[in-house]
Structure 1
Amino acid sequence: MELFIVGFGPVAGYKYSRCIHNAISQGHLSRYHVIDRESQQQVVQARLAKLPIQPATCTYIPERVLQNGPDAGVEWLIQQGVFTKSEVKKKLVITTEPQSHGTYIKFALAQQFDVLVSKPLTLPMREGVLDYRALLPNTNAIAAASIEARVNTAVLCLGRLHEIYEQKLRQPVALMMDRLQHPITSVHVKTASGVWNLPSEFGQREDHPYKYGYGMLMHGAYHYIDVLARLLLMNRRLFPTEDFVIVLQGFTAGPLDQQLRTGGLEAMTTGYRPELSELQEDLPYGETDIVASYAMKFRSTGRVLCLGTIALEQTTPGMRSWGPFPEVPYNINGRLHCTDIDVRLGTVFSIAANVTKSPIQARLGDTDIRGMNSATVVTRANARLARTQGFIRREHFERSYGNSYSYTAEADVFERWLLDRPTQSDFSSHVPSCALLDGLLRLAADDWRGSLEIDFNYPVPDWPTLSDDPWYTHMADDIAFSSEHGPRKPVIKNGVNGTKG
């Protein structure tokens, strides 16, 4: 088979080149091709020059063609015969700005290409501005078309195969839900992404832009919306016939609020120029921050099953202390993530994960954006009822720079898709996440007031492999209620008929 990559940005260059190299070296992939816009030719060629295996072809779409939109770009590629040079199986990777995703996905599915796209799945536009009302209908249509095409699809999303969110959080939650037949009763998600754009940049940036009416919900916040949606739908396993509805209330802030909220700190940055503080006020800016509370209810009775809060904020501490963007390929505004996810099963069990990125100690200078990843997981349980080995446990994990949790999770999705293995991230599985995203986008809209309802009737997500962590093995009564002091070996449940100590 052969691979086509549309949009060879810095992410494609350093995140996925190793997967491509391995697939070609092992004989799974015959060759790959790069497609980008003409204005990016020199930058793309510089990235490619550093890779061990070069693409078979590079095609650059003229800017005059792209002035007429992504549809014109796809038509130009077809006319050039880019996709018809061989009869082997084709896979298409789409890592363009999200505004172009829908066009390339539609083409790929019509041609029965396997297709992988960076999040979000689609970003519909109308007259140059986000058309949030079209998001969910478009997502449903894409999901249905992908099923009909019977091809291998995936969305690059860090939460699906994340070591902490999937293995250390969702796995224990699934185990306890199965053991106790107990629902999730609250989920709290808080991410502080440490993104600081200076005022002028909101109207100038073409990558991660805000000037087209969308903001951080369609950028990095999607990852955590996706994690939340999958956690909430785990309750479907216990209530297969109930209609779920989510009621949301919330508030947002945006670029027009930022200078008030940051105290004009941009004047203190290195290399500051006055024009960096000039915000163009006549643009339909998207949000920088959103906070919300929600209740997941049974529609039939109105009874509340799950409560929670959502805090997706960018205006939080990061690494940026510079004015103009530095000459580095990635993270030019010094993002510094800190995310907390807290899941609770009523009065019997809770687990909370904190994942933090922090600058490395030996920084090379003011604009050194390298960072270390660490995670802390705190588990609290009613040990007698939950049958755990204790009431509370704290675990700490670390990842070095260049091997972050998000990097390895997304690379794993990419590699599994490339090798035709299950990714847990096909297009259909992202419909519930987009339903929740749709609700948050409606909250963020200028014309929205009050609370809103989201129909949330979707299947149970992929059920995690149940944890084999010995901390979750059975605590027998003679240990839990022993009057003896000093260390004793725990009694561990061994199958159905016996125990071993």
Structure 2
Amino acid sequence: MKIAVIGIGPHARRVYVPALQRLRERFGVEVALVVELEAKESEVRAFLAARELRPELLFVKPFQQHMPEDVRAALSRAARREPLDGVIIATEPLSHRAYAEWALEERLHILMDKPVTTRENAATELPQAVGIYGDYEALLSAHGRLQKEKQTLFSINVQRRFHPGFQRVMELLKEIAERTNCPITSLQSSHADGQWRLPSEMITLGYHGYNEGYGKVSHSGYHFFDLAWWLYQTVASLTGKQADFAEVFSSFQGPGGYLRQLDTGDHERLFGPEYRNSQAHDEESLKQRLRDYGELDAFSTIRLLEEGESVCHLSINLLHNSFSRRDRLQPGKNLYKGNGRVKHEHHSIQQGPFQNIQVHSYQSRAEHDERSGDEHAVGGNNHFDIHVFRNSGLTGDARPLEIIRMGELEEQAGYDSERLATEQAKEAVVVEFLQFIRGELPRERVRSSIEEHRVPVRLMSSVYASHVLQRSGGNPIVGFALR
């Protein structure tokens, strides 16, 4: 089985390539082709050499939505020299659509990072915000046409669907739905990752950056639109009580707001006189330059309605500007895992008067490869607790509170406690992809095919559209049909 990896950035180096190497004997899988930007050639060659990998290499110039013809031709020639079974697309999301369309033309199986796509200036231009959903529709249509000729998988990597903690949450929700016929009545999610960029870095640093007119919603926010809809829709289908319309309102904080929270004087007090010398722009020019940049934080309220009545509210809060462990003036080399980034994630899911499930996952260190004490305790790299509150007098449970810890879930799932659970969930996505290609997994058991992402993509698109409309003085409520 031969796989191409398109995009060998920090995420692919930490997740996809090691996973494919670990799974080589089980699936007979080989990394046959690697595609990356020309500017990354030397570091990609060094990375692959260190892992004793010798795929065919193709280095290309940057592009966004439309693939240049010379790149398309070079890709197709490489795919035919080493006949490929599938591709993993792990580029910046601006080029997701172009690479996916090429892979569909080549009749290949696809595993693609989230989000499905994004658009330059999605946070400032309405056609770009709306275009995110248009991209999805185009890819879904192309995938549907291919299925008439060949059965392929187009999978989106949203690892929380595969995470043993969220799998247990789903089981608990289903239990109460089956006993009471009550759907999810409200859901609150918060994700903060402590990505602290100093003002001039917002201009110069591209990885998970803001300088192309999008930010946190496109970086990791899609996970939480997907998680909320996956939980809600699955439980609603058991009860037969399903919303038919959604209304979305969002509020963003951009770089301009950050400059009012911490100005040049504040940064100098923190980092000393070297701070001013390290910044290529003064405060006034920064305010002008950063005006149309992407969002640091996004706060969204989603109202789900059935026949005009509100039946569920979703609150999804996404933050880069949050608790961080960065304490140095200069950024670290690894902007993916490191540079002070720590995860604080919380979910509260209400099922009417019968059940409240709370998920708490809080790290205290940015060095996720270092172990210190109990990694399942609060602050540990693998902290993930589920607090289950139940109306035991009506649900038949022995007690009203149960606390489920990650150590127990890891043992049941066969996870290695020495590794991050989130990365093992991502590897489970790769396993499913390879199982489908080899014919070991029927389509109905696939957990994240592109067909299931219509509503999450529409939510992401609408969150951007709501912000743009509010910014221009329009009506910030964006509605759309769910059926």
Judge same fold: TM > 0.5, yes or no.
yes
The answer to whether the Cα contact below 8 Å between 2:87 and 2:108 also exists between their aligned partners in 1 is yes
Structure with higher Rg: it is: 1
Structure 1 partner of 2:381 = 372
Structure 2 partner of 1:496 = none
Any unmatched runs of 5+ in structure 2? Answer: 371-378, 411-415
Structure 2 partner of 1:137 = 134
The answer to whether the Cα contact below 8 Å between 2:249 and 2:478 also exists between their aligned partners in 1 is no
| One-letter amino acid matched to 2:319 | E
**Any residues of structure 2 matched to 1:344-493 within 5 Å, and which?**
344-359=350-365, 372-397=381-406, 403-420=419-436, 421=441, 422-445=445-468, 446-447=471-472, 449-457=474-482
Q: CA deviation at 1:355?
A: 1.2
**Any residues of structure 2 matched to 1:96-107 within 5 Å, and which?**
96-107=91-102
Greater Cα offset, 416-425 or 91-100: 416-425
C-alpha distance in structure 1 between counterparts of 2:18 and 2:345, whole Å: 27
Greater Cα offset, 182-191 or 239-248: 239-248
Structure 2 partner of 1:281 = 288
Determine helix, strand or coil for the equivalent of 2:361: strand
Determine helix, strand or coil for the equivalent of 1:182: coil
Q: CA deviation at 1:84?
A: 1.1
Structure 2 partner of 1:219 = 219
C-alpha distance in structure 2 between counterparts of 1:155 and 1:84, whole Å: 25
Structure 1 partner of 2:105 = 110
Q: Counting helix residues as a fraction of each chain, which structure ranks higher?
A: 2
Q: CA deviation at 1:258?
A: 0.5
The answer to whether the Cα contact below 8 Å between 2:225 and 2:460 also exists between their aligned partners in 1 is yes
Q: CA deviation at 1:44?
A: 0.6
The answer to whether the Cα contact below 8 Å between 2:123 and 2:465 also exists between their aligned partners in 1 is no
Structure 2 partner of 1:82 = 78
The answer to whether the Cα contact below 8 Å between 2:120 and 2:213 also exists between their aligned partners in 1 is no
| One-letter amino acid matched to 1:57 | E
Structure 2 partner of 1:497 = none
Greater Cα offset, 94-103 or 174-183: 174-183
Q: CA deviation at 1:128?
A: 12
Q: 1:147 to 1:68 in 2, by over 3 A?
A: closer
C-alpha distance in structure 1 between counterparts of 2:331 and 2:159, whole Å: 26
Q: CA deviation at 1:419?
A: 2.7
| One-letter amino acid matched to 1:345 | Q
Determine helix, strand or coil for the equivalent of 2:217: helix
C-alpha distance in structure 1 between counterparts of 2:53 and 2:243, whole Å: 52
C-alpha distance in structure 2 between counterparts of 1:438 and 1:154, whole Å: 20
Q: 1:31 to 1:277 in 2, by over 3 A?
A: closer
Q: CA deviation at 1:395?
A: 3.0
Structure 1 partner of 2:375 = none
C-alpha distance in structure 2 between counterparts of 1:128 and 1:423, whole Å: 32
Length, aligned pairs only = 445
Any unmatched runs of 5+ in structure 1? Answer: 365-369, 459-501
Q: Deviations over 1:307-365 (max 9, x none)?
A: 2422212211111111221234733532111111111111111111011222179999x
Q: CA RMSD in A?
A: 3.0
| One-letter amino acid matched to 2:421 | Y
Structure 2 partner of 1:161 = 162
Q: 1:277 to 1:248 in 2, by over 3 A?
A: farther
**Does 1:120 find its partner at 2:110?**
no
Structure 2 partner of 1:292 = 300
Greater Cα offset, 344-353 or 283-292: 283-292
C-alpha distance in structure 2 between counterparts of 1:374 and 1:263, whole Å: 34
